[in-house]
């Protein structure tokens, strides 16, 4: 990966980690699925006018958006709504080992032996982390957050071929256009009339929704898909996700006043060590 691509990729966790954490208080007014629907609808509304219809790719974009946006964000943010943000921001690091596994089976990107050890270590960290007292009795939230991480990784495998063919912001715009209205419709089905939540939401929640849709989504995923276009998934995912714990934990502690437990720090450290093993691999150390 070039220095330019590394620098661009490093911007993603800064905005994504902060956005992931501050989404939690907005869910006091907006159900998670509705919040994500607004996020993608806002993003599409400012981008779609600048990029032509990607003819010949619409079916593939719809499938990718269904997995990477609609299903994944519904699951992940429903999990975030049930557990502390400081725990969720660490659990989503499982995107990296999931990403390596999916890239191997679907894109034939062979990981190294050290990467396989990193995957094993990362899931040991998950086991330690979920022993935190703050997660006691919150199995559903833990399960949804980890499941969402796996779905996200699968979604990026589907997006990667498209990133080689389409401009990164074109991809962001059309993925958002497909997923936003579907998410709002799903929220109407599962949560009730969305207009009631929209009318009663306070200004702080609206500011968060606007940040997620008009700023975080275009910037972070525009950068992410740009870098993904030219680099293997297993090299991009770790850079993107390794910065999220620092940004996310700081935001959770300073803005949400959360107090992470010893188990969270220990489990999170083990997860990150596993991720580092995946990132820093020796060339030629392939699966046999």
Note the pLDDT tens digit of each residue in 122-156. Answer: 889 888 988 888 888 899 999 999 999 999 989 98
Burial class of residue 214 in the structure, from the number of CB atoms within 10 Å of its CB (0-12 exposed, 13-18 middle, 19+ buried): middle
pLDDT at 77 (0 to 100): 95
When the pLDDT of each residue in the chain is averaged and rounded to a whole number, the result is 87
CA distance 108 to 103: 6
Contact 41, 213 (CB under 8 A): yes
pLDDT tens-place string over residues 47-93? 998 888 998 999 999 999 999 999 999 999 999 999 999 999 889 88
Which residues on adjacent β-strands are paired with residue 112? 286
3-state secondary structure (DSSP) of residue 112 = strand
What is the three-class DSSP state of 28? coil
**Res 286: pLDDT:** 44
Contact 122, 271 (CB under 8 A): yes
* Domain residue spans of the chain: 3-83+138-256
The residue-averaged pLDDT of 33-48 equals 94
- Per-residue pLDDT reduced to its tens digit, 202-252: 999 999 999 999 988 888 888 887 887 878 766 776 676 667 788 889 889
Where do we find the tokens 């996310």?
248
The highest-confidence range among 15-19, 105-109, 178-182, 219-223, by mean pLDDT, is: 178-182
Q: What is the pLDDT, as a whole number, of residue 164?
A: 85
pLDDT at residue number 237: 67
| 22/9: higher pLDDT | 22
**Chain segment 113-131, per-residue pLDDT in tens:** 888 888 889 889 888 988 8
The model carries a pTM of 0.86
| Phi, psi (deg, nearest 5) at residue 164 | -80, -20
- Closest of 283, 218, 263, 216 to residue 244, by C-alpha: 216
Q: Is the pLDDT at 10 greater than 90, yes or no?
A: no
Closest CA to 221 of 86, 91, 1, 72: 72
């Amino acid at each position: 990966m070039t220095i330019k691509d590394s620098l661009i990729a490093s911007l993603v966790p800064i905005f994504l980690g902060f956005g992931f954490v501050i989404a939690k208080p907005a869910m006091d007014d907006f159900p998670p699925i509705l919040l994500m629907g607004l996020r993608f609808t806002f993003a599409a509304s400012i981008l779609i006018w600048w990029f032509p219809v990607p003819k010949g790719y619409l079916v593939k974009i719809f499938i990718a958006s269904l997995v990477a946006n609609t299903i994944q964000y519904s699951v992940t943010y429903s999990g975030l709504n049930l557990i502390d943000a400081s725990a969720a921001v660490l659990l989503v690091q499982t995107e990296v080992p999931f990403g390596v596994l999916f890239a191997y089976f679907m894109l034939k990107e062979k990981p190294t032996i050290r990467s396989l050890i990193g995957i094993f270590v990362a899931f040991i960290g998950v086991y330690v982390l979920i022993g935190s007292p703050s997660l006691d009795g919150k199995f559903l939230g833990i399960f949804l957050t980890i499941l969402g991480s796996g779905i996200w990784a699968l979604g990026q495998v589907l997006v990667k071929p498209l990133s080689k063919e389409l401009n990164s912001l074109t991809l962001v715009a059309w993925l958002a256009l497909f997923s936003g209205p579907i998410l709002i419709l799903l929220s109407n089905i599962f949560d009730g009339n969305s207009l009631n939540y929209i009318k009663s939401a306070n200004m702080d929640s609206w500011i968060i929704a606007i940040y997620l849709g008009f700023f975080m989504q275009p910037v972070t995923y525009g950068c992410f898909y740009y870098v993904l276009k030219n680099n293997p998934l297993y090299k991009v995912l770790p850079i993107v996700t390794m910065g999220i714990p620092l940004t996310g934990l700081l935001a959770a502690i300073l803005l949400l006043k959360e107090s992470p437990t010893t188990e969270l720090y220990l489990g999170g450290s083990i997860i990150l060590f596993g991720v580092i093993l995946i990132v820093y691999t020796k060339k030629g150390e392939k699966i046999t």
